[in-house]
A = this chain, B = another copy of it.
Amino acid sequence: MNIGKRHWVIAEGYLPEPGPRADDRTLRSHETACILNASDQAAHIELTLYFADREPVGPYRLQVPARRTLHLRFDDLAQPAPVPRETDYASLFVSDVPVVIQHTRLDARAGDLALLSTMAFGGDA
């Protein structure tokens, strides 16, 4: 099954402050790009981050094995640079095999939890 697209955009990006449960990895504020590679080949993905007022940063290099999902946390990114908190950004993913990408944010800064999610925008251009 080779479902998906090779180019994906998440136009919204914002890492809120971690909130009162900052020591709990699952409950502190974070954003995730959930990637499914349903194909029988490993997917090699280059991720570029865009900002409001400076040149893009990247590529970040990811690999998703065949028949696997990677739920990539943006606060885990390190090379070439970590993602700054409380800063507007956007993401572009370029993969060598078709994948599907969905975006999620958990916002815990007010103490309670708020969630958002959307399928990213896919293209093959």
Contact = CB atoms under 8 A, between A and B. Distances in A.
Interface in A102-118: 102-107, 109-118
Q: Which 4 interchain pairs have the tightest Cβ spacing?
A: A69-B90, A116-B117, A11-B102, A12-B34
A67 B50 contact: yes
How big is chain A's contact interface, by range? 35 or more
A30 interface: no
Given A38-B50, A69-B89, A9 B14 contact: no
A1 B92 contact: yes
A117 to B, nearest CB: 4
A41 interface: no
A1 B6 CA distance: 12
A115 B112 contact: no
Contact of A107 (B34, B89, B113, B119): B113
A28 interface: no
